[in-house]
Structure 1
Amino acid sequence: MMHSHGLRASSVAAASGIVTTGLVLNLDAGNSASYSGSGTTWTDLSGYGNNGTLVNGPTFSSANGGSILFDGTNDYMSATLGGSGCDRTTFSVDWWTRPTAVSNYDQLILMNSSGTAGTYWQGFTFTTNSLGQWSVGTALFTASATETSTSTLFTNGQWCHVVISFDGTTMKAYKNAVEVMSASSSVHSSNFVLLQVGAGPGFFQNTYFDGNLAALKVYSGKALSAAEVTQNFNALRGRYGV
């Protein structure tokens, strides 16, 4: 059951100064227009209506302006990316997170082209590997699969801004506006129509994320530049003391 941890501030300013070009999903638990503090709907502020659905009772925390807490047991969020979905050839995913406990194959972000949760045909996935390092993959479980791990680690209990950008050739990862990975990556065969946070597909489906997610943005047809990553980082960093 959804419930609130403590009292939420009566007014939280909407994030200003974020990059809006190509923005097709904008979830912000620190904005009451996006999440009221209760219920299962996390409203998309991009204007495209790609609302998220919270499953199995993720809870709201009022700390740091507001975030959604996933329990690491069975909580996750799912959102359908309407229209033609997210462009598989050029995209970016941007989020603020605070892991409680990172473990092997924790599934943080997944986008697939089937529109069905729990399928193997992953267009894009962000997980942690057996060392707790970031692992980013495209077109997994296909002949053109690509997966790259970085030496970058999450720190349990600390807020972190993560951005993954893909320009059709190169996948880049940023932690707190610092580039930590750049690698060639394959292009998935179809646009992404389903986004899932906190749980993976198939034999990874029981590797749930344990921690907070405060804000999540998806850009279609837009690979954020280093300057734009910094712009988004600066727009919200004050909330999280980073």
Structure 2
Amino acid sequence: MKTFMKNPLPHKGISPVIASIILVLIVISLSGAYLVFTGRLASTQTAAAEQQASQVQKLTTTIFSVGDIAGQSVGIENIGSEDLELNSLRVTLDGATVNYTMDGTIEPGQRGTLTLTGLWMFGPGEHALRVSGAAKSDSTTVRVKPNPDELALDMRFNEGGGTTASDFSENNNDGTLKNGTVWSAGKFGTAVSFDGTDDYVTAADSGLPTGNGALSVEAWIKPSVLSGYIVSYGDGVTNGKWFEIQMHGVYGLVVSFGGSGCDILPSGVSIPTNQWRHVVATKPSGSSVVSFYVDGAFVSSASPSSCTINLTPADNLKIGKHPTTGSYFKGLVDEVRIFKATYTPDQLYVLERV
């Protein structure tokens, strides 16, 4: 028996014309996609380049110069063509950052002022002041000095030898190192070192605050023990007629105007031993309220329960000792100043251009 197979379906191919058309369409589609991609890429690159150029232009045109120097203020002039953002600046003295106040902007061609704080940390003398921005800095040499207004005593202890400690105020109350007081490395330069037994510095009391006038006293101290007198002057006997700032074993840093009702105004802060601390006690004229500052920060105020303050210089200034009795400070003392005015630590020092 014969078997018959059906003929397969005939194969129908794509005509060359249609294939060519399809190929052309694919090429056109791919070319269009490529052009869109490259166009977007070029647009992105152009935008990035324009932004970078704008930033570079802004950096090179936002420039300034340090102008006037007075008090705690540094004048800044915008000599560029873009606004100067003051909060973007950095101020340094000898490479160490100095805090300042004033935000906002200075428009091109205009001036602004930065008010510096914390100058007490740097001590008197010449320093390199630099103000830096994003792409520009300007520097100058300045002198940090005690506020000259009402300066009654300015004893820096930088002699480093001999028995004389110079007073740089106009009162010229030079001090004398007594009983073997020695020199030592200080907070700034050298300092005096007291043994706590009989060492002290004495000086004339000409021009020191009297009566119930304004008073500010500052010193850098590095106590070895938590007791002893830092600075004192007055008659040392009559209530209200002498001043003393001291370390107290119970009350920490204290001020006293002497005698019953005038004694022991506590700050409530204890000064650590063998570490440098900047201490300030200040009171307004006609007031018995004493304010205490340690390392630039306000810590407390106190006033005597019953006291008529009438400071009466009588027996020379003492540094490291009670006005009259044998009570002494053990440790290092540096940079002692007395002002006939009420100052906060930031007001104790001012800037001037050298």
| TM-score of Structure 1 vs Structure 2, range by shorter chain | 0.7 to 0.9
> Which fold has the larger relative contact order, with Cα–Cα distance below 8 Å and residues 6 or more apart in sequence?
1
Partner Cα distance (1:38, 1:158) in 2 = 23
C-alpha distance 130-21 of structure 1, shift in aligned 2 (>3 A): same
Q: 1:100 to 1:22 in 2, by over 3 A?
A: same
Shift of 1:183: 2.0
Tell me, yes or no, if structure 1 residue 81 matches structure 2 residue 198. no
**Among 193, 204, 209, the residue aligned to 2:329:** 209
Distance, in Å, in 1 between the alignment partners of 2:167 and 2:323 is 23
Shift in Å at residue 132 of structure 1? Answer: 5.7
Matched, 1:66 2:190: yes
Q: How many pairs align? A: 203
Residue 321 of structure 2 is aligned to residue 199 of structure 1 = yes
Contact 2:145 2:349 in 1 (8 A): no
* Closer/same/farther in 2, CA of residues 164 and 181 from structure 1, 3 Å limit: same
Larger radius of gyration: 2
Q: Which residue type is aligned with residue 243 of structure 2?
A: F
SS in structure 2 at match of 1:230? helix
Does residue 26 in structure 1 map to residue 154 in structure 2? Answer: yes
- Work out the CA distance in 2 between the residues paired with 1:82 and 1:197: 15
Q: CA 1:73/1:182 → structure 2, altered by over 3 Å: closer, same or farther?
A: same
Alignment of 1:1-242 (within 5 A): 13=125, 16-30=144-158, 35=159, 37-64=160-187, 65-83=189-207, 85-89=208-212, 90-103=214-227, 106-112=228-234, 114=235, 119-121=236-238, 122-131=241-250, 133-138=252-257, 140-141=258-259, 145-167=262-284, 168-169=286-287, 170-185=289-304, 186-193=307-314, 194-201=316-323, 205-220=325-340, 222-224=341-343, 226=344, 229-232=345-348
Q: Which runs of 5+ in 1 are unaligned?
A: 1-11, 236-242
Q: CA offsets per residue over residues 68-108 of structure 1, 9 Å max, x none?
A: 1111111011111225x4233211111111112223xx122
Deviation at 1:136, TM superposition (A): 1.1
Gaps of 5+ in 2: 1-123, 127-142
- Give the alignment's TM-score, normalised by structure 2: 0.52
Amino acid at match of 1:110: S
Contact 1:24 1:47 in 2 (8 A): yes
Judge conservation of contact 1:102–1:132 (CA < 8 Å) in 2: no
What is the one-letter code of the residue matched to 1:81?
D
SS in 1 for 2:268: strand
- CA displacement at 1:184 relative to structure 2: 2.8
Contact 1:75–1:208, Cα closer than 8 Å, also in 2? yes
TM-score (norm 1): 0.74
